Structure 1
């Protein structure tokens, strides 16, 4: 006899959800599954607000399902572990990022690249192995398989560390994979937002020279004095761009708006690599001739596997890397999303779930 949903998911949970593509969030009661033998259950204390939450809430990518509980920068304290959990215990500081499942049998999974598994399961708005919908971290409790739970270093604050589970790994992974970590290299970072400001911090921790590339002259002081970038380049200034031609070994492009690639390609040395981590909603024009003339590469990168995500968090703990955050109460979330849409945040909103999420 098949188990009822109540038997499969016996634990009451509470969060905020959107019920339609308006994206407006309101209190929502649901349930989490019982803690399985390989599962970790934790009390959610903070959850970052990612720009992808906004896209999902409004179904801008076309695959959202409702009710939708967003949140994939989830951190808290372990309250229960399954009998076969090996690396975590009650009381540990932990986090869950963008993934909660994968096929575990493909080449990507075998190489610790669950993020590229064609059957990976997103932390919210996806279908789990048992056919149920996954719900994210705008909620009071989280349950996930140990493989998808990251242990936080003791010295890394949970609130400012939460965005690293998405923004952090999104920039750390390409820095590592494309070899942008050798001291003496010159790396450009396009855009100084939630991704860009963390990219600068990681790149500087690796010991490379960093130039922030932005359309806004107003961000120069922030980039150089606060974040430690070596230089600042205004992409709308032809003289500045001309002077920087052919000077960069690599560029991490964090911009999600439609923008021209040719000026960035021209900044690269021969054999340089332009890596896209932003996600524009329309195709970009890619000029091929400049690639041919310098054996240059335009590539993409998307978060990281679980092994690399743990490495990233450990690296952040060692080098005291956190996101710059504005912590907000749960009932401010709709306003925060409106502000995020206007880029009115420096640089990441984080919801104080533990202190401000109140059950209806």
Structure 2
């Protein structure tokens, strides 16, 4: 779960040594299994745009080297003496968080993701008092799923449902829950999707997951809003309507059309110009982590009763619910499995806005074929040792 200062390095990892967002293979240490812990052999890890932001220094992380990755799927290799939910050999997943205080109002209400002491799967400083096996971890930062193993408290480990392929299961623990949670609040918990219209701004990994989930919830119409017509044909294949929001007339025609708008774009864009596509009283939900502030007219909000809200992944309970929902409705994200040595190329594509709507998943077994380094490297790309 953490980079340990005085422990044997026992896992391979793929990560960045500075803010250049270049990935290299190096060794990390994982904690021994404590009474409530689950040790996992990672088989696959999805690549999220958040990983790029973290490794590019966009979010102010200053602990290096760091292995990103919070779309983790693997197999249980060991459990602590008090673990009751999991058995060795089970297929499991780990998402965007690995710890919380469990005592605050948020944790007690089942909203661990909003705990002020929530520990993210990578890039968080590990706190004190989490058990003897974590003593060496205290004060060090967590490392994520671009690695061969991870140790996590069972509370933050999820069962992968029977019949769900490990290759894509991890994607659901980020892109899946990020889009499921607001749709659950605004669609399922408000009578279902019949008669409802949903718009999705952006057509990347989050966007394609939102489409599949909204349709499974019975939404009447799903419309994609993207910068240009470049992805229109792809959206049509998924049964979606399409608006290129660079065309102001098209946006105006869609004024007051949608009950829920999910904005999945993490790059700066003109949110204020898109807000009017919401119905009066509609919800405009921000899912993309745009780093720069933006302006919205108070008058626009007042006269249209718009609700602009953020949404951060989901609780542990809602995450397991989402996995079961996807299994029941046979929801499979668009994805492709890549070799670890292709990760830098995919990072570059994501950062330049050139990645396809499908999600890339690293086959962690291929990490052994990447050159291992021991210290901050000179500038060079990953290469195979074969």
State the TM bucket, normalised to the shorter chain. Answer: over 0.9
The SS at the match of 2:308 is: strand
Structure 2 residue corresponding to 1:310, chosen from 289, 309, 320 = 320
Q: Quick check: 2:36–2:82 contact (8 Å CA) kept in 1?
A: yes
Q: Which residue of 2 aligns with 1:159?
A: 167
Could you tell me the TM-score, scaled by structure 1's length?
0.93
Q: Quick check: 2:25–2:367 contact (8 Å CA) kept in 1?
A: no
Superposed displacement of residue 356, structure 1: 4.3
Per-residue displacement from partner, 1:26-81 (whole Å, max 9, x unpaired)? 22112111111111111110011111111111211112310111111111111111
| Aligned mates of 1:267, 1:336 — CA distance in 2 | 33
Q: Quick check: 1:11–1:33 contact (8 Å CA) kept in 2?
A: no
Q: Which residue of 1 aligns with 2:203?
A: 192
Q: Which residue of 2 aligns with 1:272?
A: 282
Q: Which residue of 2 aligns with 1:357?
A: 368
Indicate how the Cα distance of structure 1 residues 63 and 328 shifts in structure 2: closer, same or farther if over 3 A, else same.
Answer: same
Q: Which residue of 1 aligns with 2:82?
A: 84
Superposed displacement of residue 357, structure 1: 3.4
Q: Which residue of 1 aligns with 2:144?
A: 136
| Aligned mates of 2:340, 2:196 — CA distance in 1 | 42
Per-residue displacement from partner, 1:93-146 (whole Å, max 9, x unpaired)? 111111000111111101111111111001112122341321111111111000
Q: Quick check: 1:44–1:75 contact (8 Å CA) kept in 2?
A: yes
Regions of 4+ moved over 4 Å: none
Q: Which residue of 2 aligns with 1:205?
A: 216
The SS at the match of 1:166 is: helix
Superposed displacement of residue 5, structure 1: 5.3
Could you tell me the TM-score, scaled by structure 2's length?
0.87
Q: Which residue of 1 aligns with 2:250?
A: 240
Q: Which residue of 2 aligns with 1:283?
A: 293
Paired residues, what number? 353
Q: Which residue of 1 aligns with 2:179?
A: 171
The SS at the match of 2:29 is: strand
| Aligned mates of 2:345, 2:250 — CA distance in 1 | 37
**Structure 1 stretches of 5 or more lacking a match?**
none
The SS at the match of 2:304 is: coil
Q: CA RMSD in A?
A: 1.8
Superposed displacement of residue 358, structure 1: 4.2
Q: Which residue of 2 aligns with 1:70?
A: 68
Superposed displacement of residue 277, structure 1: 0.6
Indicate how the Cα distance of structure 1 residues 161 and 216 shifts in structure 2: closer, same or farther if over 3 A, else same.
Answer: farther
Superposed displacement of residue 11, structure 1: 6.5
The SS at the match of 2:11 is: strand
Superposed displacement of residue 150, structure 1: 0.9
Superposed displacement of residue 355, structure 1: 4.2
Q: Quick check: 2:200–2:224 contact (8 Å CA) kept in 1?
A: yes
The SS at the match of 1:350 is: strand
| Aligned mates of 1:153, 1:47 — CA distance in 2 | 17
Q: Quick check: 1:57–1:64 contact (8 Å CA) kept in 2?
A: no
| Aligned mates of 1:246, 1:17 — CA distance in 2 | 44
| Aligned mates of 2:56, 2:218 — CA distance in 1 | 40
Indicate how the Cα distance of structure 1 residues 354 and 237 shifts in structure 2: closer, same or farther if over 3 A, else same.
Answer: same
